[in-house]
A and B are shown apart, each in its own frame.
Chain A
């Protein structure tokens, strides 16, 4: 399916009069408007205000002073920023394929109905309904040297500068895969059975059926997951905050940890906002890239 906003014009619509187009535009706007207004006031406004702060020096109880690009120059020369960027990218690179892979694999396994399928689906969804902080708490124990994982591997992964990120990725995947699975599942159930049967009668094997029949149908859902999960993993915070505090020795210090420390520990709100701008630009860039790639693949 298409991922761009332009949906393919149907034959019927192509023949309509301009008045129909105006009618359509009016209704389109009317449907979007309530959401858009709320959005403008409560998301866009604060986001713009927050972003602009990146060009100011601002601390609590003081009024902001305009400092131009100072915060950004400082950022470029700040080794902590580069470390945080490295950690964030590494985390995302590990997390994305693993999380989408697990979601997709399980969605395919439970898409058809068989005895017990509902039980499996329900079980896989359980982690999603537990809060992330709770997951972080319990996994801290599981990984610690008194917990099973720590005992199995003879020490805590969270204590290793190398293994700490894989450990955090495991927790993330555990707590999120049910979400992806369900979204893909909802989409999979719309894949017309006839299409697959037709492919089957054309002699297509399971992989070919998946690759050429099922996957194209899943594209909008996969694109959604990609963008949302990229954003989530670029902004990973709660988990790191509870489980490692960014350690050991900054090996799991992510960009939002840095942003948080600058903003709410040091109250250097201007610099924190500048970090937010950097993160925003990075995320947007990756999302546009993903859109380009997904769009081309169709």
Chain B
């Protein structure tokens, strides 16, 4: 696989030599295929079981997808205010994503590339707050939001979730790895700080912003406890809360899975649309140059 090289023709050969050999390629595909099957299997089981009649769960018969039975979906979709819940969830998730991305990239850039007083303290206090268990802060946080009149409002739902330390941390780690020379060059050209952020930092962060954005979206989309606690009235319900409210205590597996699949489909659709951007990455010529 390695080759001792010197001449310029051989350099081109080495370029190819970074690629695995034929045997390596086969091994790669085999490994990846096995990993894919393992990854997909539980997922396949979820969808198939949600389409089964109640109690058809004995393996292996339960994993044959036919015949379909939509009974579970009827129970989940019947009678609810699905459009309202979806809309609420969309507002909660999308607004949060945009704001978190802006706030986190600003702060991440400053933590990575700027020197200012109190930086170390601020950064570690950010990080430390990730380590305080959520259940400890739940009641004080709710008391705060409630006393500010945030119960049953979108801002009460969204604003407390914007201080996302994990997002700041992630952005900082990525921006820290970008070479300083890029920013210095722009600075010497007389670009303002704001312009540097907009024109250099953000474009270079595209892949990680896509990743982070998707995650923030998912956190919010799947969140249950906070929307439940803040949205007291029926009109403020999100999808997760709304679907849970439709269920009695002993819910059959297929109904749980059908409910989850209903909440999952929009995410999956968004993922199909956005995954190219997300998983392909972006060639960052600026860095390599």
Contact present between A and B (CB < 8 A): yes
B137 at the A interface (CB under 8 A): yes
Q: Are B39 and A126 in contact (CB under 8 A)?
A: yes
User: Given the interface contacts A50-B139, A283-B131, does A227 sit within 8 Å of B35 by beta carbon?
Assistant: no
A129 at the B interface (CB under 8 A): yes
Chain A residues within an 8 Å CB radius of B235: none
| A178 → B minimal CB distance (Å) | 8
Q: Are B176 and A1 in contact (CB under 8 A)?
A: yes
CB < 8 Å: which of B107, B127, B131, B208 contacts A36?
B107
B141 at the A interface (CB under 8 A): yes
Q: Are B177 and A38 in contact (CB under 8 A)?
A: no
Chain A residues within an 8 Å CB radius of B278: 125, 182
Top 8 A-B pairs ranked by shortest CB distance?
A28-B114, A28-B116, A276-B136, A31-B110, A49-B140, A121-B279, A46-B140, A283-B131
Besides A49-B140, A133-B260, A141-B57, 15 more A-B contacts (Cβ < 8 Å) are A7-B113, A7-B176, A12-B181, A36-B122, A39-B126, A42-B162, A43-B137, A43-B163, A51-B132, A137-B256, A147-B57, A220-B173, A227-B169, A231-B131, A256-B135
A260 at the B interface (CB under 8 A): yes
Mask of B206-226 contacts with A, CB within 8 angstroms, 1/0? 011001001100100010100
Residues of B at the A interface (CB closer than 8 Å) are 1-6, 10-11, 14-15, 17-19, 25, 28-29, 31-32, 35-36, 38-40, 42-43, 45-46, 49, 57-60, 63, 103-104, 106-107, 109-117, 119-120, 122-123, 125-141, 144, 159-160, 162-163, 165-166, 168-170, 173-174, 176-177, 180-181, 184, 188, 193, 197, 207-208, 211, 214-215, 218, 222, 224, 240, 253, 256-257, 260, 263-264, 267-268, 271, 275-276, 278-284, 287-288
Q: Are A224 and B133 in contact (CB under 8 A)?
A: no
A87 at the B interface (CB under 8 A): no
Size of interface on A: residues with Cβ below 8 Å to B: 111
Q: Are B59 and A124 in contact (CB under 8 A)?
A: no
| A26 → B minimal CB distance (Å) | 8
Q: Are A190 and B287 in contact (CB under 8 A)?
A: yes
Chain B residues within an 8 Å CB radius of A123: 36, 39-40
User: Given the interface contacts A21-B115, A32-B110, A201-B5, does A146 sit within 8 Å of B32 by beta carbon?
Assistant: no
Q: Are B60 and A148 in contact (CB under 8 A)?
A: yes
Chain B residues within an 8 Å CB radius of A90: none
Nearest CB in chain B to that of A189: its residue: B281
Give 9 A-B contacts (CB < 8 Å), ordered by A residue.
Answer: A12-B181, A25-B116, A27-B110, A47-B132, A50-B136, A146-B57, A189-B284, A221-B177, A279-B133
Nearest CB in chain B to that of A181: its residue: B279
Mask of A174-196 contacts with B, CB within 8 angstroms, 1/0? 10000100110111011011101
List which A202-255 residues lie within 8 A (CB) of chain B: 203-206, 217, 220-221, 223-224, 227-228, 231, 234-235, 237
User: Given the interface contacts A118-B279, A125-B278, does A134 sit within 8 Å of B257 by beta carbon?
Assistant: yes
Residues of A at the B interface (CB closer than 8 Å) are 1-2, 5-8, 10, 12-13, 21, 24-29, 31-32, 34-36, 38-39, 41-47, 49-51, 53, 106, 109-110, 112, 114, 116, 118, 120-135, 137-139, 141-142, 146-148, 151, 174, 179, 182-183, 185-187, 189-190, 192-194, 196-197, 200-201, 203-206, 217, 220-221, 223-224, 227-228, 231, 234-235, 237, 256, 259-260, 263-264, 269, 272-273, 276, 279-280, 283-284, 287
CB < 8 Å: which of B15, B38, B58, B282 contacts A146?
B58
Q: Are B114 and A31 in contact (CB under 8 A)?
A: yes
Q: Are B162 and A38 in contact (CB under 8 A)?
A: yes
Chain B residues within an 8 Å CB radius of A41: 144, 163
| B172 → A minimal CB distance (Å) | 8
Interface of B is mostly: helix
